[in-house]
Amino acid sequence: MKTKYYFLMVIAIGIFSIAAKTAVTADDLVGTWKYLISDVPPEYESGFFIFEQKENKTVGYVEAAEKQEVKELNVDQGKVTFTTENQNGVFKYSLMQKGDTLTGIISSQYGDFPIKAVKGAKK
Per-residue pLDDT of the chain (123 residues; tens, 9 = 90+): 555 545 445 565 655 444 444 445 667 899 999 999 999 988 889 999 999 999 888 999 999 878 899 999 999 989 999 999 988 899 999 999 999 999 999 999 999 999 999 998 765
Pairing of strands 57-63, 46-54: antiparallel
- Confidence (pLDDT) at 56: 87
Q: How far apart are CA 105 and CA 44, in angstroms?
A: 14
Which one-letter amino acid corresponds to residue 46?
A: S
- Confidence (pLDDT) at 123: 52
- Confidence (pLDDT) at 43: 87
Query: Which residues, at least 6 apart from 12, have a Cβ–Cβ distance to it below 8 Å?
Result: none
- Confidence (pLDDT) at 64: 84
Q: Smallest Cα–Cα separation from 58: which of 101, 103, 27?
A: 27
Residue 17 burial (CB count, 10 A): 10
Query: Which residues, at least 6 apart from 76, have a Cβ–Cβ distance to it below 8 Å?
Result: none
Domains, the chain, with CATH or none = 25-119 (2.40.128.120)
